[in-house]
Structures are given as C-alpha cells and as structure tokens.
Amino acid sequence: MAQRTEPLRAIGISLPAWVRGLARPVAMLALVLLAFGVVLLIAGKDPLRAYADVFGQTLGTPYGISEVLVRMIPLILTAVAVAIPARLGLINIGGEGQFYMGAWLATWGAITFGDLPAWLLLPLMCVLGMIGGGVWAAMAGFLRAKGWVNETISTLLLNYVAPLVTNFFIFGPWRSPDSGLFPVSKTFVAAARLPTFGGTRVTLGIVLALCAVVLFWFVTTRTRWGLEMRAIGGNSEAARRLGIPLPAYILLALFAGGALAGLAGMAEVSGMHGRLIQVISPGYGFMGFLISWLAGGNALGIIVMSFLLAVIASGGTVLQLTQGLPYAIVNILMALILFIVLARPMVGRK
C-alpha cells in the first residue's frame, strides 16, 4: 500500500490508515454500481430511479433500517470467517457449509437442553454453533496442514454436504409433526430464542457480530498471534524457518473462521426462525466471501461492505415492486461484484 500513497505524500497529504483501508472497497463498489446501471439501462429501466428506490426504502424508514441490520448479522460473521484464514493466505469458501453446521448443532442444543433457563441455554447454543462450524472447517484445515488437499477445494465441496446433514434430521428425528408438506424441526422454546431490540427483528446477534469484528481487529493488529499470521501470509517458508508452527496455525485459523460462520448459523435459527428449516441461508456464506475480499480483510471495511450489501440484498424486493424487475436481478449484481473482485488481486491487507 505504501507505493500507492507516495504521490499524496509528495505533496504533503497523508491519509489516515482507516481511510486508505476503505478506499479500495468503496471504489470497487462504485464500479459495480456503474456496471449494474448499464444492465438496468439495457433492461429499459432508469438506474438513478432504481437506486433512489432501493436506498429510500431501505434507509429512509425505521423498518427498512432494522431489516438491513438483520441481514448484516450473518454477513459480518461469515465475512470475518473468510478474513481470518486469509491472513495466512488461505481461501475459505466454506462459510455456507459452516453456517449450516453451526445452525444444526445449535438446534440440537435447543431441542436437547430446552429445560435450561435462557441465561444458560443461549450461551450453550452459541458454543455449540461455534463448535459445529469450527469442526466442519477444521476438517479442511487438517487436510491442508497435512498437504493432502487444498483448502479452497475442500471447503467448497463441504458446502454441498452440510445441507444434506441438516436435511436428514429435518426429514427424520427432528421433524415437527405439524410441519405438513414443508419439513422443519420442532419449534424452539422461548428460552432458546435470541432477544430482540424494541419492536424490531434485530436480535442480540448484531452485538455478537460487532464484537467478532473488534476481536478480529485486535488479534490481527495488536497481538503476537496476528503478527505471526501476517508473517505466514507474507512468506510461509520464511515463517516456517523462523520456527512458527504452520500446521497449527492453519488448523486454528480455519477452526476460528468456521466457528464464526457457525455462530452466524446459530443466530439465524435462534433469532430469525426459532427452528431449523431446509433453506436456512440464501447464500450468506458466499456473500460473506465477497464482502471479505471487497474489504481486503480490513475490519472497518467488513462492516461498511456488509452494510452496503445488506442494503442491496434488501433492495431486491423493492425493485420488484417499483421497477417490475425479478428478484434475480440481485444475483446479477452479486455476480458483477464477484467478477470485479476477482479481476483485481487483493493487495495490502491491513
């Protein structure tokens, strides 16, 4: 990043680190919105009117803002789940599967220990959710640490296994007798539901997500662990020669990332649905991957990008009503984001 700021420094301008960290994701998102505007023009729509509708309906009302915050919870957690292994140069594409496994094990806790009081049951479900996602990711970490399978392939393929595991229990031992044609698990007791703020759907999960970002920032920038993780990401062979235990860090980083994705799954079943359903995630794990790479692993960038993508995702319904566009238009926008993210390599993590 230093070479990029030389022209500014030459004329006496020095930007704060947090500004430099946000410059890249904001510029990339602006490019995406410009490209998406071209798509809307081809479809015969007014891009400016469409953007005004999206931002007006999502940020112009208290309800719209609360729904954006609801979507931010899993997006932040799954983004940090990608950012932690990325510090070591690892690519975790398994946030979706880790999300499902966290939701699955948290559901087991809610069903098995439903007699416990909320102050004990909810922390237990959080721990179980983190274990579910962490162990799922640690399997890929073990294979990578042994040098047997690249974590990009293993985490990606495990995404297709996790929903099959949850479906087995939804269709089998956990199926609610009142589910009819749409199998779901038994409804959670009140003690297993995350508390909400006011009359909104925003749950305590937003606090957990923000705490996860702060902890990620602190560990990676203010501790020896963070320094050694950056050393591994910069030059793994040099780090190994310095005595840094690479296999242990690989296993730990993927477990930690998976644990946060699993926590997102727990927050979703406990806060939003109150039961385990078939399609518990509309792609939060994949969107978290985009957010992390857009933000370049920057903690503040993750929050900003999660907010903006939550607005975009919430705007799909708005565009259906105001512009007559199918909700699939959001998928086109997400695909444009992916292309632009992959077109420019990530540099200068902070």
Percent of the chain with pLDDT over 70: 90
Q: Write out the two tokens for 18.
A: 């947090």
pLDDT-based confidence at residue 2 (cuts at 50, 70, 90): very low
The better pLDDT of the pair 19, 122 is held by: 122
* 54 burial type by CB count under 10 A (0-12 exposed, 13-18 middle, 19+ buried): buried
In angstroms, the CA 148 to CA 41 distance is 48
Sequence spans of domains, the chain: 69-343
Helices 62-86/246-267 angle, 10° precision: 160
Using an 8 Å Cβ cutoff, are 103 and 192 in contact? no
> What number is the average pLDDT over the span 213-240?
92
Q: Residue 126: which residues within 8 A CB-CB, separation 6 or more? A: 106, 208, 263, 266
Q: Mean of the per-residue pLDDT values for the chain?
A: 86
248 has a pLDDT exceeding 60: yes
pLDDT-based confidence at residue 122 (cuts at 50, 70, 90): very high
349 has a pLDDT exceeding 50: no
The pLDDT value recorded for residue 347 is 43
5 has a pLDDT exceeding 50: no
> What number is the average pLDDT over the span 220-245?
90
338 has a pLDDT exceeding 80: no
207 has a pLDDT exceeding 80: yes
Using an 8 Å Cβ cutoff, are 130 and 140 in contact? no
6 has a pLDDT exceeding 50: no
H helix intervals, the chain: 2-10, 17-42, 47-59, 62-86, 95-112, 118-145, 151-171, 205-222, 224-234, 236-241, 246-267, 284-295, 299-323, 329-343
Lowest mean pLDDT among 54-63, 202-211, 319-328, 340-349: 340-349
**pLDDT tens column, 137-149:** 999 999 999 999 9
Which of 14-23, 54-63, 157-166 shows the highest mean pLDDT?
157-166
CB count within 10 Å of CB 3 equals: 8
CATH code assigned to 69-343 = 1.10.3470
pLDDT-based confidence at residue 11 (cuts at 50, 70, 90): low
The pLDDT value recorded for residue 112 is 94
In angstroms, the CA 347 to CA 3 distance is 11
Which single residue is written with the structure tokens 């040099």?
Answer: 238
Q: Write out the two tokens for 305.
A: 């990008």
197 has a pLDDT exceeding 80: yes
Residue 125 Cα distances to 103, 121, 140, angstroms:
9, 6, 23
Contacts 24+ apart (CB under 8 A), 15-24: 17/350, 18/300, 20/350, 21/295, 21/296, 21/298, 21/300, 21/301, 21/350, 22/298, 22/300, 22/301, 22/304, 24/296, 24/301, 24/348
In angstroms, the CA 172 to CA 184 distance is 10
pLDDT-based confidence at residue 37 (cuts at 50, 70, 90): confident
CB count within 10 Å of CB 46 equals: 13
pLDDT-based confidence at residue 21 (cuts at 50, 70, 90): low
237 has a pLDDT exceeding 50: yes
pLDDT-based confidence at residue 133 (cuts at 50, 70, 90): very high
